[in-house]
Amino acid sequence: MIHFNDSTLAMMICCAFFAIFSLINVSNALQSLSLNGQWELNDSKNSYKGLTGNVPGGIYSDLMDNKVLDDIFSGYLDETSKWVPRQEWIYVRNFSVTEELINHENINLVFDGLDTFAYVYINNEEIGQSKNMFVQYVFDVSNKLKVGENTIKVHFMSPVKISEDLAEKQIHSYVIPPVCPPNEYHGECNVNMVRKMQASYAWDWGPSFPSVGIWKDVNIEAFNSTIIRHVVTDVLEDDDNDTWILNIDIYLAPSKKTITNGKIEAKIQLNNQVITKVFDVPVHATNISVVCEIPKGSVHTWWPNGYGAHDLYLLKVRYSTEEESEVSTKEVRVGFRTIELVQDPLGEGYSFYFRVNGIPIFMKGSNEIPIDVLPERGQDKKKIRRLLQTAKDSHMNMLRVWGGGVYESDYFYDLADEMGILIWQDFMFACALYPSSEDFLENVLDEVEYQAKRLSGHASIALFSGNNENEGALRDDWYHVKQNFTLFKDDYIKLYIDTVKTKLEEITHKRRIFVASSPSNGKKTDEEGYVSNNPSDQQYGDVHYYNYLLDPLNPMILPIPRFASEYGFQSLPVLESWLEATSNQSDLYINSKFVTHRQHHPLGNAEILAMIHREFQLPEVTNERYIESVIYFSQIIQALAIKVQTEYYRIHRSILHPDGRGNTMGALYWQLNDVWVAPTWSGIDFAGRWKMLQYYTQDFFAPVIITGFINVQNQLEVYVVSDLLIKTFSLSARIKVFNWNSLTPAIEQNITVDVEAGSSKLIIAEVIHSLLDNAQCGSGSEATENCFIHLSLDKSGAQVAPDNYVFPAKIRDCNVQDSNVKITSVKKISTNGTYSIELTTDNIALFVWLDSHTIPGRFSENGFLQVVKQRTIFFYTDVETSEAELSKELTVITAVNYSK
C-alpha cells in the first residue's frame, strides 16, 4: 500500500472520496462486453425445454414470464411453487468474441450478483463456482475464450438442498439453531447455513421464495494493464486549518502484466472551480491510499434531510497508460460531512446519539426490508425512488437497511445521498445463530470486503451493524442453547468481531462506526465481551420493543431508551390491494383460510382484533361492511399506536429520569415497505398504497410538534418538541376542549412559549378533570367520555406544527356522534396532476379516510380529525385522470359510520 501526503496532490485527490456511484468506462484498448439480455433456460432434467430467461433476472420472474407459473404473489402460489427452488436450473447463451478482445493480457468474466450456488462454464469448461449472493465474482477466462462464437452456461444448484446438505454436515459437530422457522411462516429450513437473503426462506412478514438466478449485471472485461475496481473515500474535519481531510483508497484490479508507466488523474468539480491532479502509479501497486485537504470554503456541507442541503461533488478518477493506450474511469460523488456516534457517560449509563457536523440529531425514520422478495426486482429504479421519496417527504432522516434482506443497489444508496437519508446498514445476518467454520468465515470475509468497498464511501452511510437481534437471541436463549452458551458465544465473536468487524475496520481504516448487533448496549456491549448481560438495557445503545398484550395507546407502558431502532404493530392492507392477491372478497375475513395463510406472525390476527376491540366497536361479522371495517380500524389502531410511541420518544430527547432512562435520540419504527399482500407492520403496502400510518408519519415526524398524554397522576401533560437548529420565540400553543357534539370548542387556553433548538419542553401539566370541569363536560367518567382535547401551535397566526389531540377515554366508550362528511368539490389545480378536494361536515368527524380506489396517488392528509366545518385536502395522482373520473372514484368514511 502506497501513501501519498503531498499537499498539492492532496488538493487534487480531494476528490475520490465518498464513492457514491460507480461505473467503469472503457475506451481505447480497454474492452467490455455485456452478457445481459436473453438467455436460454432449462432445468437439469430437461423438463422445461424452450424457455427463455432474462439477465439480470431470476427463476421465479422467468417462470412467470414463460407462463410456467402464474403470478406467484397471488393466491397460494408461495405453497404450490415450492418445487421451484428444489430444482437445478441452467442458464445458457451464445456470444461472439472478437480477435481484438482475445488479444488482451487480462480477460475476466464478472458477475455482480449470482444467487447463490452455481457452477460457471465457458465452452463447456468449468471456470468457477459461486456460494455467496452478496459478492462480486471475477473469473479469469483469458485462456477459455475463442474468436467467434462462445457459450456460457451457469448451472444453479438447489439452494434448499444445499442448505440441507450443509446442515447435515454441521450436525456432526453440533446443531446451530434455528433449524426451521415457525410453522406459520410456511418457510424453508437451514437458511442460516447459506449466504443469501435470509428472508427468501420466509419471514413473519413475507413469503418463501428461495431465489435463484443471475440477479445483477454480467460482463466480460478485457485489459492489458489494469482497471479501477473501487474508489473508497472518507472525510474528516480539521477545524484548526479550516479544511476537510479527505482519505481515498483506489483499488486496482490484479494484472498479469507488469506496468511501469501507469498514471492516475483525479478531477473534482467544487464550487466555482475544478481541481485536477495527476500522479504516477508505482509498479505492482493495487491499493493506493491518498490523504488530501480541501478548504471548507470551496464546498458546501452535506446535511441530513431537514437540516440543510445535501450537496455532492463529482469526482472522476482516471487510470491510463501511455504504453497500452488504456483508460479506466470511475466516477463518485463526495459528500462533505462528519458523523459521530456519541456514547458518553449519562446518568446510570451511556448516551447513544448521532452527531452530524457537530450537531446532535434526533433520528427519525423506519426499517426498510428488501425492496422486493425477488432480488432482481429490487433493482427497479422507479420503485426505489418512490420509496425513498416517500421517506424524504415524511420528514425521515434515517432508514435502517435490515439484516435479513440484501445490501441494496448502488442506485438506492445514490438516492439516499441525494435526499439526505442516512442509512443504518446491517450486515446480512438476522434472528439466528450462525456457523463459525473456516469455509463459512472465509465466505463472509469476501462478502464484508466487497460490501465495505462498495458502500462505505457513501455520505448517507451512518453506521454498520453486525447483525439483527442475534446478541439478544444468544443472551436471552431464544434457541435453548444456554447449556452451551460459551460455545455459541465463541462462535458469535469469531463471526461478528474477529471477522466482520476486523475486515470492516481494515477496509475503512477504523473510520466507520460499527456496533456488533442491533439491538445492543453499544459501547457497554463491547466492555462486557461483545455479548452484554442485558442487550436491551434502556440506559445503553438501541432497543427493539414489541408488546401486543398491553394497551398500545398508553405511553406509560413504553420503555424510554437511548435509541429506539425497532417498534411496531400490524395492520391490514386496503381492499384494492388485497384484491390483487385474490379475486374472491370472501377470502378476506380476518380468520379465513387465505388471510390466516398470509398471516405469518404467530397469533397475529388475534392481536390485530384485540387491539381494535380495545378502542372500537366492530360491526357484526354478517354486516356487509365487516371486512372493510376490520381493514380500516386495523390501520387506525396501528397509526395511533406508532404515533403515540414515536411522540413519546421525541418528548424524551430532553428528559433524563432519576432512574437513568431518557435522552432518547432516535425513533425508527418497523416497517416501511412490504414484499407481498398480507397483514404486516408496514406503512406502505405491496401495491404501493399508503396505509394510514404512512400519512401519520408526516405529522409525528414533523420538525416541530405539539403533543400530549395523560400521565399516571391523571394529569394532562402537553409538550412542544423542536428539531430546529435555532431557538423559536413566541409560539402560541392553543389547548382546546371540544365536546363530541359540537364544532365549537367549549374552552380554549393560549400559552405563549419559547422553545430551545433541538429540545422538548413541557408547557402544561394539569389534572385532566379540572380541565374538563372547566369545559362543563360533566363529572367523573362521563366527562372523559363527552370531551376530548385538541392541540395546535402557531406563530403570528401561521401554523407551526400539525394539529394534535388527546382522548381522555377509550374511543369506544366516548360519546362520539355521527357526522355527515361530504365531498363538495373536486378541482384540478395544476398540470402535474394535483387536485383540491373540499370536505364539509356538520359535526366532529373522527378518522376521516379518503380513498381514490382504482386511481393511484396519495393525499396531502388522511385519517384525520375534522373539527372545522370546511377543510381542503390535496390529491396527487400518479396517472392521467380528470375531475369527473376522480369525483366518481372518491369515497370518504369516518369511524362512526364504519362501526355500525
CATH of the domain at 873: 2.60.40.10
**DSSP line for 123-173:** TTEEEEEE-BTTS-EEEE-TTT--SEEEEEEEEEPPHHHHHHHHHHHHHTT
Q: For 829-843, how does the pLDDT look when each residue is reduced to its tens digit (9 = 90+)?
A: 998 899 999 999 999
pTM value > 0.75: yes
Question: What's residue 15's pLDDT?
Answer: 38
Q: What order do you get walking across the sheet with 728-739 strand by strand?
A: 747-755, 728-739, 787-795, 798-806
Q: Which three cell numbers stand for residue 1?
A: 500500500
Question: What's residue 389's pLDDT?
Answer: 98
CATH classification at residue 578 = 3.20.20.80
For residue 414, being part of any structural domain is answered with no
The residue annotated as part of the active site, out of 566, 615, 628, 861, is 566
Residue 628 confidence (pLDDT) above 90: yes
The CA-CA-CA angle for residues 230, 235, 238, to 5°, reads 150
* Residue at a domain's end among 763, 790, 813: 813
Can you name the residues that pair with 823 across neighbouring β-strands? 839
CATH classification at residue 62 = 2.60.120.260
Q: How far apart are CA 430 and CA 407, in angstroms?
A: 13
Residues 678 and 717 in one domain: no
pLDDT, average across residues 101-121: 97
Question: What's residue 291's pLDDT?
Answer: 82
- Per-residue pLDDT band for 167 (boundaries 50, 70, 90) equals very high
Residues 829 and 724 in one domain: no
Residues 680 and 718 in one domain: no
CB 29 within 8 A of CB 78: no
Q: For 347-389, how does the pLDDT look when each residue is reduced to its tens digit (9 = 90+)?
A: 889 999 999 999 999 999 999 999 999 999 999 999 999 999 9
Amino acid at 224: N
For residue 251, being part of any structural domain is answered with yes
Of 23-37, 776-790, 869-883, which has the strongest mean pLDDT? 869-883
The CA-CA-CA angle for residues 157, 160, 165, to 5°, reads 85
Residue 23 confidence (pLDDT) above 50: no
Give the structural domain span for 192. Answer: 31-220
* Residue at a domain's end among 669, 697, 725: 697
Q: How many CB atoms lie within 10 A of CB 41?
A: 25
For residue 600, being part of any structural domain is answered with yes
Residues 192 and 266 in one domain: no
Task: Check if 265 is active-site.
Answer: no
Residue 12 confidence (pLDDT) above 50: no
Peptide bond into 276 cis (omega under 30): no
pLDDT, average across residues 19-26: 35
pLDDT, average across residues 657-673: 96
pLDDT, average across residues 842-868: 97
Question: What's residue 325's pLDDT?
Answer: 80
> Who has greater pLDDT, 2 or 407?
407
pLDDT, average across residues 214-231: 96
pLDDT, average across residues 271-286: 86
Q: How far apart are CA 504 and CA 500, in angstroms?
A: 6
> Who has greater pLDDT, 278 or 710?
710
- Per-residue pLDDT band for 166 (boundaries 50, 70, 90) equals very high
Residue 4 confidence (pLDDT) above 70: no
Residues 741 and 836 in one domain: no
Q: For 739-770, how does the pLDDT look when each residue is reduced to its tens digit (9 = 90+)?
A: 999 999 999 999 999 999 999 999 999 999 89
Give the DSSP letter of residue 712: T
Task: Check if 885 is active-site.
Answer: no
> Who has greater pLDDT, 418 or 325?
418
Question: What's residue 432's pLDDT?
Answer: 98
Give the DSSP letter of residue 863: S
CB 764 within 8 A of CB 716: yes
The mean of the pLDDT values for the chain is 94
- Per-residue pLDDT band for 8 (boundaries 50, 70, 90) equals very low
For residue 582, being part of any structural domain is answered with yes
- Per-residue pLDDT band for 3 (boundaries 50, 70, 90) equals very low
Quote the number of domains for the chain.
5
Instruction: Report strand pairing: 114-115 vs 715-722.
Output: unpaired
Q: How far apart are CA 251 and CA 227, in angstroms?
A: 9
Calculate the alpha carbon distances from 513 to 118, 257, 310, 407, 426 in Å.
34, 38, 21, 17, 12
How far is Cα of residue 159 from the mean position of the Cα atoms in its chain?
26
Question: What's residue 897's pLDDT?
Answer: 78
- Per-residue pLDDT band for 18 (boundaries 50, 70, 90) equals very low
Q: How far apart are CA 319 and CA 329, in angstroms?
A: 6
For residue 879, being part of any structural domain is answered with yes
Residues 211 and 196 in one domain: yes
pLDDT, average across residues 50-78: 97
Q: Which three cell numbers stand for residue 359?
A: 450537531
Question: What's residue 24's pLDDT?
Answer: 36
CB 473 within 8 A of CB 496: no
Residues 164 and 47 in one domain: yes
Question: What's residue 545's pLDDT?
Answer: 97
- Per-residue pLDDT band for 127 (boundaries 50, 70, 90) equals very high
- Residues with Cβ < 8 Å from 209, sequence gap 6 or more? 60, 72, 78, 81, 85, 200, 373, 374
pLDDT, average across residues 313-338: 91
- Residues with Cβ < 8 Å from 234, sequence gap 6 or more? 17, 18, 246, 247, 248, 456, 457, 508, 509, 511, 512
Residues 593 and 731 in one domain: no
For residue 351, being part of any structural domain is answered with no
* Residue at a domain's end among 697, 729, 754: 697
Q: Among 45, 144, 139, 30, which Cα is nearest to 87's?
A: 45
Q: For 488-533, how does the pLDDT look when each residue is reduced to its tens digit (9 = 90+)?
A: 999 999 999 999 999 999 999 999 999 999 999 999 999 999 999 9
Residues 861 and 834 in one domain: yes
In 679-819 the beta strands, taken as DSSP E runs, fall at 704-710, 715-722, 728-739, 747-755, 759-767, 787-795, 798-806
| Percent of the chain topping pLDDT 90 | 89
Residues 677 and 715 in one domain: no
For residue 330, being part of any structural domain is answered with yes
CB 22 within 8 A of CB 272: no
The residue annotated as part of the active site, out of 326, 408, 447, 469, is 469
Q: For 452-468, how does the pLDDT look when each residue is reduced to its tens digit (9 = 90+)?
A: 999 999 999 999 999 99
Residues 709 and 692 in one domain: no
Residues 568 and 691 in one domain: yes
Residue 21 confidence (pLDDT) above 70: no
For residue 494, being part of any structural domain is answered with no
Question: What's residue 899's pLDDT?
Answer: 73
User: CA 745, 747, 749, 750 torsion: positive or negative?
Assistant: positive
How far is Cα of residue 114 from the mean position of the Cα atoms in its chain?
23
- Per-residue pLDDT band for 900 (boundaries 50, 70, 90) equals low
Instruction: Report strand pairing: 798-806 vs 262-270.
Output: unpaired
